[in-house]
Amino acid sequence: MRSLLALQISTDDPLFWILVIIAASFVIIALTILFIAVAIGRISRTVAAVEKRVEPMLERLSALSEEVRKMTAQGREIAGQIQEMSGHLSTAALHLSESTAIVRDEMREIRDLVSHSVETARDKVEMISRSIDETHAQVVATTRFIQSRIVDPARELAAIMAGIRRGLEVLTAPTPKPINQSYGEEEMFIG
């Protein structure tokens, strides 16, 4: 029967409303934590996807840059060996140089984009971490407040009410029979 005591609380009783408020608070906290977890999951998946896309591009660009450097060196060697082709080869070297500069600029922009994306992701993770810490602190503060302002006084009030009820039971109980009076067989039966 004790497990059903919570179901016997009247809606007029303040304890009932306190329990309802506490339950609603826990539901709100659970939903908030769930929302934060979903947001963190999405952010981490986005960062991982960006890393997967950018990493191969950086490797390709590094390899391409190395190839361009090698080609420039080969072009200079050929220009030294073949003097009649020097005009054409210097033009080709100029184009390769411009291509290298363009590739370097593109690599710089991609690195800047990746750095910015990583910084943004870190900022978001830190913001979510702070939000979780603040939410946790607020939950702890709310729990302590409810414990000190509602639950502890409610326990004290329940103890006082139990004492008053027991006192009233003692006062309204029938007077016991004197010990020197003899009891019948039915009165001596315990059970």
Q: How far apart are CA 20 and CA 12, in angstroms?
A: 12
Residue 188 in domain:
no
Give the domain extent around 145: 14-171
Residue 34 in domain:
yes
The structural domain count of the chain equals 1
Residue 105 in domain:
yes
Name every residue whose Cβ is closer than 8 Å to that of residue 134 and which is 6 or more positions away in sequence: none
Residue 2 in domain:
no
User: For residues 89 and 79, is the Cβ–Cβ distance under 8 A?
Assistant: yes
Residue 186 in domain:
no
Q: How far apart are CA 135 and CA 33, in angstroms?
A: 9
How far separated are the first and last CA of the chain, in Å rounded?
A: 22
What pLDDT shows up at residue 77?
80
Residue 158 in domain:
yes
What pLDDT shows up at residue 26?
97
Question: pLDDT (tens digit, 9 = 90+) per residue, 11-62?
Answer: 888 888 999 999 999 999 999 999 999 999 999 999 999 998 988 888 888 8
Residue 134 in domain:
yes
